[in-house]
Every structure is written in structure tokens, then in C-alpha cells.
Structure 1
């Protein structure tokens, strides 16, 4: 009696399926815990856990397919009339699967990279066959970086939207900001030398490091980037206001602080006390309005 029961269990595909799923989940959990308790760097731990999860999912899918292949074959024959409906129903899943294979072959990013997928901008924290998980980063919140929002992007978007790897933005960025002032008949260029001196002063502490980092990016990407020297230019808006635009290559964390300091210096030149005419580059005396 017991031997017959055992024989039935050994030939029961449902039992084998449950054993396979439990075994894969248990092995994946044990390996993940072992990696988390290791002394490796956090980035390496996340990559290894990601590999274990993907490999476990692959083993589970292949194993279940092997267990149920005979039933699936009979089932496929019995639903031949509904094949078109099934293809339509699984279209999104197939697109995500193919998109995952496409991304893996292109190697456009890996775990820990900063990427922009369409309008979504974040750090890749997980990537499987169907979706990519991003920890959102606000490109305008340069001082804080992470917003605390987790984005789940289906892999099918890789066929319809561009993918930009922004990993080099983690340290230094080309930051551009503008200051708009109502034109009151004065020559706006009298402030240019003063602002230029201020920007150079704020960038002096990291100038050498910025140049080396720019060279590193050029060597790895095989392109020639613009100079790391700050760029200051004037233009007018559609309604006749003076627009001062400043572009500088600086550490990401310092971008907002430098922008605020330069903006404060600009308005102090026109409306406040700059300290001395020498400090203003002796180009002009601050205008009181």
C-alpha cells in the first residue's frame, strides 16, 4: 500500500513541481542571506543577489516546463483554435521578455548604474527578464539625489524609448542655470567680469580634480568633451529681459550651492554692496535701483 502511494507520488507532476519551487526558493533565500552577511562591498552584494534571483527563476521555469511538457503538448494541441487569442493576450509579456534579452545583449547598463529611460531617471537596483527597477533620482534636486520613489519599468520600453547611461553624473556634472533680470536701460555686461571672477573663485577648489575626471570620461567614452572652464553668456528673453546663463563642470553635490552663491552675488552687484570696486573687477560701480 505504501509502495503504491510512493510510486504515485513519484509520478505525480504536481508533487515534483512543488518540490522544485520550494527547493529553488529555499536555495535562493539561503544564498541571498549568505551574500548579505558577507564582507563584500554593497554593490557587489546586490549584483550577486541579482544573479542568484535571475538564475533561480530560469531554473524554475525550465524545470516546470520539463515536468509538464507532455501535458503542455496535449494542451497546446487542444487549444489550437485559440492560438491567436493567446498570442494577443501574451503580447506584452513576450515584448518584455524580448526587451530583457535585448538589453542583456546590448549591456547598456548594469546594477548600480544611473540611467535615463525615456523620462524616467534613477539608479538601477534590479533587472530581470520582464522589468527593470529604478530608485528614482531627481535630476533637478542635485544636492539630494534620491527622491525615495521606486520605479518599475517594463522591459518592452527598450524598443520604443531611448536608454541613456548617466553613470558618470554620479560625481561631476555640467550644470547650467540662468538668472533673469528686468532690463532698466543699463548695460548688463558691466557685471560679467565680476561674476566671472566669482565663479572661478568658487570652482578653484575642485578645478584640478574636475579636469582629471573630464579626461577620464573622454578616455572611456572615446569622445572629446567641452572644456571644464565656466562659460558665461548674456542674451535677451522674448519680453526683453536680460538673461545671464552660466555653465560649469562641478561636483554634483556642490551644483546647487554654487548656483545660489552666484545668484546672490549677481543681485548684490545690482542692488547691494559688493564690498569694493576692486572686488567687482573695477568694471563698473554697482547700480542702485
Structure 2
């Protein structure tokens, strides 16, 4: 209604802000005069107790203040609506332009509140693995490890991961193991050897190579269980016989060992096992031929 009344005025629309200002001044003057009249009429009534007069004057002042705010809002409504739309457009533009920045800050808040990791931890963010060397509000810096779950050696390169990635991919913190890893690797044989002889052969080779680390692994395993109040798997070497998707015999070995020694242990065990199997094949023609070595894996901190 107010807008229709404004459009019917015989004034240029450019002059409307000046008219609004004039209307605001008139409204303020009118309410001020009305308040003075009401206050004077209240004080002119001697039959009212002083505290009652003060109560009525305070109520009248609040009523006139409310009327002033409502009147100003009605007068300046079109300008306020235009200003609000402008603010909304600016806010949307700012959010779109700084979306990644906001996500990075949100990721930093998530890291800080959940204590997901700290400097010195070994973590895995998506496909990226490494040691945390620094973290800020916007990014986390990692000393990169070699590609694949088997690699525990730094490549010498640093990776800067935006904290926004912490909101979309899982973060695996391997700090609890304190430099140890559950290292897993496998070998596949074709044709299959005699199971009774193969199990004893593999167990003996694995146990002999693992012996230098057995006591340290047991102490570390017990310390981690006490510190984290968790139940970890037995640190003793585990040898499992399974079949592959093609029905071939698959020998899987799991070692709880120092991360820096994992790859060397896998290499030494694999070479000795293949040499022993080859020697047996030559001694008993047609007994067993190693087919392939499957890709190994492990988690370290």
C-alpha cells in the first residue's frame, strides 16, 4: 500500500530518499511533541502518586519509542529491502569465492577438536602417506613415504595437503604403533607343494629371520596395549595357507616388526623360501614350482 501511494506521488523517484528523510524528521518531531503533551498531562494530575506518575511516564516513553521505530521502518522499507538484497548478493558472492578457504578452516577446526593427529605422527590421508611436519589453519605438510602400503621410507619430497581434504576422506593415524608395523605379504605357488612339508618350511624360515626382533616386538606390543587400553593381535609371526582366486596355493605371512626392517624382512624371507622350494623341486622333479610373489602390505606409524 505504501509503495502504491509512493508511485502515485507527482515526484521524481530520485527525490524519494529526500522525501523519506523529511518524513522521518516530521515523524520524530510529531512524536516528540506528543510525548511532551502526554508527560505534561500526567504530571498535571495531582491525584496520582509520584511512583505512579513515574511508571506512566516510563510506559509512555517506551510506547513513543516503539511508534518511532515502526514509523521509520515503514518509511524506509523500500531502501531497507534494496539494501538487504544487496547484502545477500554480496554474502553469496563472498561464500562462493571463498568456498575452499572456508572448507580448509573447517578442516582445521575438525583436526583440532578431534585431535586427529599432531606433528610427528605418521598418517594416511586418502592415497597420501607420510609424517606430519607442520600444520596450519589452511594446510598440513607431510614428509612423503614411498607409494603403496609397503613403503616406510621417506621419498625426500614434501606434500602440502589442504585441510579441506580432512572433511571428505578418512585419516588413518599410525602413531600408536611407535615405529612398528603389522607387515603382510604373500606368495603364490603353482603347482601346489605338499602342505605338510611346505608349512614346516615356511614357518622355520619366517621364525629364523624374525628372531632378532621377537623380544622387542613383544615389549612394544605390550606397551601399546597398556597405553591405548586396546587388545592387539599376538606379535608372533603368523603363517596362513589359502587359495587365490584361480585356485592356486597362497602363503600369507604377517609380521609385527620395526617399520624400517619390514621390506628387508620380506625380501630375505621370500628369497630364502624360493631358494628352498627350487632346491626341493630339483631334488624331487615336478614337486613344486613357485608361480609368483603377491604384492605385500603393512601399516606403520
Smaller-chain TM-score bracket: 0.5 to 0.7
| Cα distance change of structure 1 residues 137 and 201 upon mapping to structure 2, 3 Å threshold | same
Deviations 1:142-195 (A, max 9, x none): 5761112221111112222111111245521111110111125x4234111122
- Name the structure 1 match of 2:166: 158
d(CA) in 2 for partners of 1:256, 1:271: 22
d(CA) in 1 for partners of 2:148, 2:91: 48
Deviation at 1:286, TM superposition (A): 5.7
> Is 1:221 equivalent to 2:221 in the alignment?
no
- Match of 1:135, SS? strand
| Cα distance change of structure 1 residues 240 and 262 upon mapping to structure 2, 3 Å threshold | same
- Assess if the C-alpha contact under 8 Å between 1:135 and 1:150 holds in 2: yes
> Is 1:133 equivalent to 2:149 in the alignment?
no
- Match of 2:274, SS? helix
- Assess if the C-alpha contact under 8 Å between 1:143 and 1:253 holds in 2: no
Find the structure with the greater CA-based Rg.
Answer: 2
d(CA) in 1 for partners of 2:280, 2:110: 60
| Cα distance change of structure 1 residues 259 and 128 upon mapping to structure 2, 3 Å threshold | same
- Match of 1:224, SS? coil
d(CA) in 2 for partners of 1:103, 1:112: 15
Give 4+ residue runs of structure 1 displaced > 3 Å after superposition: 76-79, 139-144, 285-289
> Is 1:249 equivalent to 2:256 in the alignment?
yes
TM-score (norm 2): 0.61
> Is 1:192 equivalent to 2:186 in the alignment?
no
- Name the structure 2 match of 1:109: 117
d(CA) in 1 for partners of 2:112, 2:91: 29
- Assess if the C-alpha contact under 8 Å between 1:271 and 1:287 holds in 2: no
Q: 1:119 aligns with which of 114, 118, 127?
A: 127
Deviation at 1:124, TM superposition (A): 0.8
Structure-to-structure mapping, 1:22-33, within 5 angstroms: none
d(CA) in 2 for partners of 1:259, 1:169: 19
d(CA) in 1 for partners of 2:226, 2:146: 28
d(CA) in 1 for partners of 2:85, 2:243: 72
> Is 1:207 equivalent to 2:195 in the alignment?
no
Q: 1:149 aligns with which of 157, 162, 165?
A: 157
Deviation at 1:101, TM superposition (A): 1.7
- Name the structure 2 match of 1:232: 239
- Assess if the C-alpha contact under 8 Å between 1:112 and 1:123 holds in 2: yes
d(CA) in 1 for partners of 2:274, 2:228: 39
- Name the structure 1 match of 2:13: none
Deviations 1:56-95 (A, max 9, x none): xxxxxxxxxxxxxxxxxxxx99962422121111121111
d(CA) in 1 for partners of 2:175, 2:284: 44
- Assess if the C-alpha contact under 8 Å between 2:145 and 2:151 holds in 1: no
- Assess if the C-alpha contact under 8 Å between 2:152 and 2:259 holds in 1: no
| Cα distance change of structure 1 residues 141 and 86 upon mapping to structure 2, 3 Å threshold | closer
| Cα distance change of structure 1 residues 143 and 155 upon mapping to structure 2, 3 Å threshold | closer
d(CA) in 2 for partners of 1:121, 1:220: 24
- Name the structure 2 match of 1:180: 188
- Name the structure 2 match of 1:38: none
